[in-house]
Amino acid sequence: MFHTILIIVFMSCLLISNVVGIRFVIDREECLSITVDYEGDTVYVSFVVIKAESPWHFTEDGVDLVIKGPSGDRVFDMHDKTSQKHDFIAHKKGLYHFCFTNKSPYHETIDFDVHVGHFAYHDQHAKDEHFKPLFDLIAKLEEALYNIQFEQHWLQAENDRQAVVNEKMGKRAVHKALIESAALIGASVLQVYLLQRLFERKLGLSRV
Amino acid sequence: MARVLLPVILIIMAATGECVWFNLPRSGTKCVSEEIHNNVVVVGDYVVVSDDHLHPTPTISSQVTSPYGNILHHMDTVTHGQFVFTSTESGQYLSCFWADRPGEGGALSVNIDWKTGIAAKEWESVARKEKIEGVELELRKLEGAVEAIHDNLLYLKRREAEMRGVSETTNSRVAWYSIYSLGICILASCAQLWYLTRFFQKKKLI
């Protein structure tokens, strides 16, 4: 009886994972925080810039990301990236800060995903040798599945970014064609008018 | 005392949920969105913590909107709240927060815990209803996760096919519109030639 309860309790806290995926609009700077409950957890973080709200953006839009640990120490940083995946091992438990900085003057939509993976090492709990390898394998399987979900979220965000780029390209092709035709017609009318004026003046001078 | 209490409270509250903290400025709205498919259960929890430990805790208002503009949840002057809904439209769901009394000083930290689909499922009630426990429950959870991954992949496949369609339309548009532009250029030059010939003939130069 007690054995069963112990196993149930053990199984229910086998793997504690945090998976978060949100999208937000960044103006200048935005900071998000995540708690890491256990030392030695691997933290996977990914972000994708979905779109930059500028009518014609000529430059590659990118954001900076600075990751700070619980005591304010800088864990990692990257500059001017539109899409990035990174993982690190959290040596201290506590509140980790992810700060984004937007260098371009326009608002940008960022899709941010963070996943804290934790293996529960319960050597002191399961006394029965039959169960321990099974628990470890299930824990590994769960971790792998959460990782797959994390990758999928990033892939989806990348696809969304590409979809926005493609739609903009389609609209741009149509606009370019219209403006080009209008410019050509305008240039030819201007040419005819100028030539007409030139010859009329010349003829007027020479004939009189 | 308060400085020690706040991190403790943060850790305790965070240990009971998977969540993200962000800062809410005193004026202005902060919105968090997520792309959700049709027919997905969404559970959201939010809590306000003030950095200045003011008493009473400052309150915020929140609103959750569907992609087509329907308001799914709206609460005013609360310090914590929860919303649950099943998505009926596929698209971007927006949850916005704003502080109630702007200009009262001090930044607010809002903790939002957003669970969609498989993560929102209540495994305790499933375990109780079907009387499964232990290894079977864990494997049931994994089966749910695998199904969610499979559905996600199918959705990605569909999106990719749509995008391919848009790319190919753009490709053919660029080709055809370039030919049209060239045609207009040639027509304009022919019209010019004809008009100027007529003009010079009238002026008896040719």
Show the tokens assigned to B95: 């949850």
Q: Say whether pLDDT at A39 is over 80.
A: yes
Q: Say whether pLDDT at B24 is over 90.
A: no
Q: Residues A124-147: what's their mean pLDDT? A: 76
Q: Residues A60-85: what's their mean pLDDT? A: 86
Identify the pLDDT of residue A26. 87
Note whether A110 contacts B: Cβ–Cβ < 8 A: no
C-alpha angle B119/B120/B124, rounded to 5°? 95
Residue among B170, B180, B189 with most chain A CBs within 10 A, to mutate:
B170
The identity of residue B78, as a single letter, is V
Q: pLDDT exceeding 90 applies to what percent of chain A?
A: 19
Note whether A14 contacts B: Cβ–Cβ < 8 A: yes
In the structure, how many helices (H) and strands (E) does chain B have? Answer: 3, 8
Nearest to A32 among B22, B34, B142 (CB): B22
Identify the pLDDT of residue A179. 93
Between A170-174, B22-26, B87-91, B155-159, the lowest mean confidence (pLDDT) is in B22-26
Identify the pLDDT of residue B194. 93
More confident site: B32 or A125: B32
Identify the pLDDT of residue B16. 36
CA atoms of A111 and B58, how far apart (whole Å): 28
Q: Residues A25-42: what's their mean pLDDT? A: 87
Beta bridge partners, A29, equal A101
Q: What burial letters (b/e) apply to A54-64, b meaning 16+ CB within 10 Å?
A: eeeeeeebbbe
Q: What is the pLDDT of residues B119-156, one digit of tens each?
A: 777 788 888 887 777 788 888 888 988 998 998 899 88
Q: How many CB atoms lie within 10 A of CB B172?
A: 11
Identify the pLDDT of residue B59. 80
Nearest to A177 among B112, B163, B177 (CB): B177
CA atoms of A107 and A54, how far apart (whole Å): 8
Q: Which residues contact B32 (CB under 8 A, 6 or more apart)?
A: A22, A23, A24, B22, B94, B95, B96, B97, B112, B114
More confident site: B78 or B189: B189
Between A143-152, A172-181, B109-118, B150-159, the lowest mean confidence (pLDDT) is in B109-118
Q: How many CB pairs under 8 A join A and B?
A: 153
Instruction: Name residues 50-79 of chain B within 8 A of A (Cβ).
Output: none
> Contact A142/B33, CB-based, under 8 Å?
no
- Long-range CB contacts (within 8 A, 24+) of A5-12: A6/A125, A6/A126, A7/A126, A7/A128, A7/A131, A7/B134, A8/B133, A8/B134, A10/A122, A10/A125, A10/A126, A10/A135, A11/A135, A11/B133, A11/B134, A11/B135, A11/B137, A11/B138
Which of A44-58, A109-123, A137-151 ranks highest by mean pLDDT? A137-151
Q: Which residues contact A194 (CB under 8 A, 6 or more apart)?
A: none
Instruction: Name residues 129-158 of chain A within 8 A of B (Cβ).
Output: 134, 138, 141-142, 145-146, 148-149, 152, 155-156
> Contact A156/B35, CB-based, under 8 Å?
yes
Identify the pLDDT of residue B183. 92
Q: How many CB atoms lie within 10 A of CB A188?
A: 19
Q: How many CB atoms lie within 10 A of CB B106?
A: 12
The identity of residue A22, as a single letter, is I
Dihedral sign, CA of B176, B180, B186, B189? negative
CA atoms of B146 and B117, how far apart (whole Å): 12
Mean pLDDT of chain B: 80
> Contact A25/B31, CB-based, under 8 Å?
yes
State the nearest Cα–Cα gap between B59 and chain A, in angstroms. 20
DSSP string, B30-55: EEEEEEE-SS-EEEEEEEEEETT--S
Instruction: Name residues 34-53 of chain B within 8 A of A (Cβ).
Output: 34-35
CA atoms of B62 and B114, how far apart (whole Å): 14
CA within 13 Å, CB half, B35: 21
Q: Which residues contact A90 (CB under 8 A, 6 or more apart)?
A: A36, A39, A40, A41, A42, A43, A69, A96, A116
Cis amide prior to B56 (ω within 30 degrees): yes
Q: Say whether pLDDT at B187 is over 70.
A: yes
Note whether A205 contacts B: Cβ–Cβ < 8 A: no
CA atoms of A180 and B2, how far apart (whole Å): 67
Note whether B185 contacts A: Cβ–Cβ < 8 A: yes
Q: Say whether pLDDT at A121 is over 70.
A: no
CA within 13 Å, CB half, B41: 9
Q: Say whether pLDDT at A82 is over 50.
A: yes
Nearest to B31 among A4, A17, A24 (CB): A24
Between B6-15, B115-124, B181-190, the lowest mean confidence (pLDDT) is in B6-15
Q: Residues B97-123: what's their mean pLDDT? A: 76
Which of B46-55, B116-125, B155-164 ranks highest by mean pLDDT? B155-164
Show the tokens assigned to A171: 């609209």
Identify the pLDDT of residue B179. 93
Q: Say whether pLDDT at A94 is over 80.
A: yes
Q: Residues A31-46: what's their mean pLDDT? A: 87
Q: Residues B195-203: what's their mean pLDDT? A: 89
Q: How confident is the model at residue A46 (pLDDT cuts 50, 70, 90)?
A: very high
Identify the pLDDT of residue A3. 52
Q: How far is CA A186 from the centre of its chain?
A: 44
Show the tokens assigned to B66: 């569907």
CA atoms of A20 and A35, how far apart (whole Å): 12
Identify the pLDDT of residue B140. 87
For residue A152, list chain B residues with Cβ-Cβ distance below 8 A.
149, 152-153, 156
Q: Residues B161-184: what's their mean pLDDT? A: 91
Note whether A177 contacts B: Cβ–Cβ < 8 A: yes
Between A55-59, A116-120, A138-142, the lowest mean confidence (pLDDT) is in A55-59
Residue among B8, B123, B136, B181 with most chain A CBs within 10 A, to mutate:
B181
Q: What is the pLDDT of residues A1-23, one digit of tens each?
A: 555 444 444 444 344 455 678 88
Instruction: Name residues 123-152 of chain B within 8 A of A (Cβ).
Output: 133-135, 137-139, 141-142, 145-146, 148-149, 152
